[in-house]
Amino acid sequence: MTTIPLSWWLTVSAALFSIGMYGALTRRNAIGILMGVELILNAVNINLVAFWRYIAPNDVAGQIFAIIVISVAAAEAAVGLAIVIAVYRRRHSAVVEELDILKN
């Protein structure tokens, strides 16, 4: 058994989640927001793998969930960045506050 208690992993994961949340809430640039979301998804994955290792190490479900989260994160990043590039091409800006075409 590793000597690191489960609560350390959960603490690190909570810190990473909070930092990612701060990035997603405060960045003006859409790519910055996407990077914050990636940090949040990484925090979730640390939690999943830590719970797998400490609570159910003989059931691979935790790792499978983490792999599916990674796949969804990859899909999200690809579509999100494609949207950012398409918007930048039309509006010459990736600042989310200036994207108000649908307003009014």
Q: Report 29-68 residues binding other proteins (CB under 8 A).
A: 29, 31-32, 34-36, 38-39, 42, 45-46, 49-50, 52-58, 60-61, 63-64, 66-68
Q: Does 71 interact with other proteins (rule: CB under 8 A)?
A: yes
Binding residue for other proteins (CB under 8 A) from 97, 100, 101, 104? 97
84 binds other proteins (CB under 8 A): yes
11 is a contact residue toward other proteins (CB under 8 A): yes
Distance, in Å, from the CA atom of 33 to the CA atom of 81, rounded to the nearest integer, reads 11
- Residue 51 exposed, middle or buried by CB count within 10 Å (0-12, 13-18, 19+): middle
Q: Which is nearer to other proteins, 6 or 100 (CB)?
A: 6
Give the end-to-end CA distance of the chain in Å, rounded to a whole number.
Answer: 60
Residue that has been written with the tokens 């990636």 in this structure: 38
